[in-house]
Amino acid sequence: MSSADDFRAGLRAFLTDHHPGRRPKDPVARLAWQKAWLATLFDAGYAGPGWPREYGGMDLDFARQVIYQEEYAGARVPGPLGTGLGIAAPTLIAYGTPEQKERFLRPMLRGDSVWAQGYSEPEAGSDLSALRTTARREGDEYVVNGQKVWNSSADIADVLFTLVRTGPPDSRQDGISYLLIDAHAPGVGVRPLRDLTGDAHFCEIFLDDVRVPVADRVGPENGGWPLVRTSLGHERAAGAMNQAALYRRVLDELVELAHERGATADPLVRDRLADFEIRVTIMRLTGMRTIADIMAKGEPGPASSTARLFIVTFEQELHEFALELLGPYGILGRHDPHAVQRGRWVWGFLRTRASTIGAGTAEIQRNTIAEQVLGLPRDPVTPTTGRAR
């Protein structure tokens, strides 16, 4: 057995032997359950496959990172809490001070500290450089005022990694700074937002005279825009292999649904399933390329937009097809006693309506691909980066 095979076997055994069991329904119990799992991973040396060892990670080579993502997704164990691990952590590792790295990275990886992103605003989503949240410096502190929206995990967060305007109102990207804000500080308010699924996956954040130490600014004042691009690139690349492994399983379950509905005799149905099979394979290969780029260059680069765009359009089309297979049952929600598989496909369809908006709209991804990957002329009017999370 090769060393890579040994690693796969050891990881699989660990994930099996330490599986945390069924996810609790109660939100408080579920949060504690997930934190306990992340601590178990960290303490056993199985957290942060691509993180440097000095910050508690595994610092795996390319082949083992691929194995890790495949095995982790296949084990059906909890994923990371918040949005910090895949977005804020790479930014801190690249731009943070030694004190910031020592203070923040290990607790984030272990799940002791949950991070949430504060980028988008009611008037600044895709055009992120138009953000209005201000940070006025008073001595060794900033006084922050503004509002953020479409924030995942802000309701359970301990730290908000946030973009604020420290320059003049018309300074666009030249006046933006990157602040780490204590989510429990006076003046921070969080309100859940209910979405199409009936759940509250997002929040809006209100910042009212929130005082933030200057020491919690990452990078230079008014120099946050390069950090934004690092964050967004890693967000679009984060979990690419994990997503591929996830949708490998989901596609298998969709094939089972087609069999159950008696639809596989239809050659058009088989053709669609074959197309999804091809795209899952492409997704896996793209994820491998992304990992290789990060390991070689330290950044996923603009090509991460291709992976992001590919995944979000795929998951939308897959769930649309699932509802076609369900026919009239495709209008029944999770709580209807007649819903097929407890309405999971309907829930997935509703959830993925937002897929082409979050982490930068599909339109923004296409612009990035056109300008930075294909080298086409830049549109002087269209923002070059953006987000909606």
Q: What is the CATH number of the domain that holds 201?
A: 2.40.110.10
Q: Which residues pair with 369 in a beta bridge?
A: none
Q: Say if 192 falls within a structural domain.
A: yes
CB 170 within 8 A of CB 134: no
Same structural domain, 208 and 239: no
Give the end of a domain, one of 168, 203, 221. 221
Same structural domain, 209 and 259: no
Residue closest to 217 by CA, chosen among 142, 117, 143: 142
CB 236 within 8 A of CB 307: yes
Query: How far apart, in whole angstroms, are the C-alpha atoms of residue 232 and residue 254?
Result: 31
Which tokens in the block code for residue 273?
Answer: 């399933």
Q: Is 317 left (phi over 0), alpha (psi -120 to 50) or beta?
A: alpha
Least confident of 144-153, 243-252, 343-352: 243-252
Same structural domain, 122 and 193: yes
Q: Say if 389 falls within a structural domain.
A: no
Q: Say if 168 falls within a structural domain.
A: yes
CATH of the domain at 304: 1.20.140.10
The whole-chain average pLDDT of the chain stands at 86
Give the end of a domain, one of 221, 239, 257. 221
List C-alpha distances in Å: 60 to 15, 238, 295, 304. Answer: 17, 16, 10, 20
Query: How far apart, in whole angstroms, are the C-alpha atoms of residue 53 and residue 39?
Result: 16
Same structural domain, 125 and 161: yes
Q: Say if 297 falls within a structural domain.
A: yes
Same structural domain, 212 and 289: no
Same structural domain, 152 and 24: no
CATH of the domain at 101: 1.10.540.10
User: What amino acid positions are annotated as catalytic residues?
Assistant: 235
Same structural domain, 262 and 370: yes
> How many residues are present in the chain?
389
Same structural domain, 160 and 102: no
Q: Mean per-residue pLDDT for 319-348?
A: 90
Give the residue numbers spanning the domain of 262: 227-374
SS (H, E, C) 316-327: HHHHHHHHHHHH
Q: Say if 171 falls within a structural domain.
A: yes
Question: Is residue 39 packed enough to be buried (19+ CB in 10 Å), middle (13-18) or exposed (0-12)?
Answer: middle
Q: Which residue has the tokens 């239809």?
A: 266
Residue closest to 186 by CA, chosen among 154, 163, 209: 209
Q: Which helix (H) or strand (E) holds 118?
A: strand 115-118
Q: How confident is the model at residue 298 (pLDDT cuts 50, 70, 90)?
A: low
Query: How far apart, in whole angstroms, are the C-alpha atoms of residue 316 and residue 314?
Result: 5
Q: Say if 386 falls within a structural domain.
A: no
Query: How far apart, in whole angstroms, are the C-alpha atoms of residue 130 and residue 87?
Result: 21
In eight-state DSSP terms, residue 125 is: S
Residue-wise pLDDT for 4-57, tens only, equals 899 999 999 999 999 999 999 898 999 999 999 999 999 999 999 888 899 999
In eight-state DSSP terms, residue 19 is: -
pLDDT computed for residue 299 by the predictor: 67
Give the end of a domain, one of 50, 77, 110. 110
Q: Say if 387 falls within a structural domain.
A: no
Q: Which residue has the tokens 């890790």?
A: 68
pTM for this predicted structure: 0.80
Q: Mean per-residue pLDDT for 332-344?
A: 87
Which tokens in the block code for residue 266?
Answer: 């239809």
pLDDT reading at 384 higher than 60: no
In eight-state DSSP terms, residue 78 is: -
Same structural domain, 190 and 213: yes
Least confident of 135-149, 265-279, 334-348: 334-348
CB 92 within 8 A of CB 100: yes
Which tokens in the block code for residue 353?
Answer: 């309506």
Same structural domain, 164 and 244: no
Same structural domain, 293 and 354: yes
Q: Say if 388 falls within a structural domain.
A: no
Same structural domain, 207 and 231: no
Query: How far apart, in whole angstroms, are the C-alpha atoms of residue 119 and residue 386?
Result: 9
In eight-state DSSP terms, residue 124 is: B
Residue-wise pLDDT for 176-235, tens only, equals 999 999 999 999 999 998 877 777 778 999 999 999 999 999 999 999 988 876 655 544
Beta-carbon contacts of residue 104 (< 8 Å; ≥ 6 apart): 92, 96, 113, 159, 180
Counted domains in the chain: 3
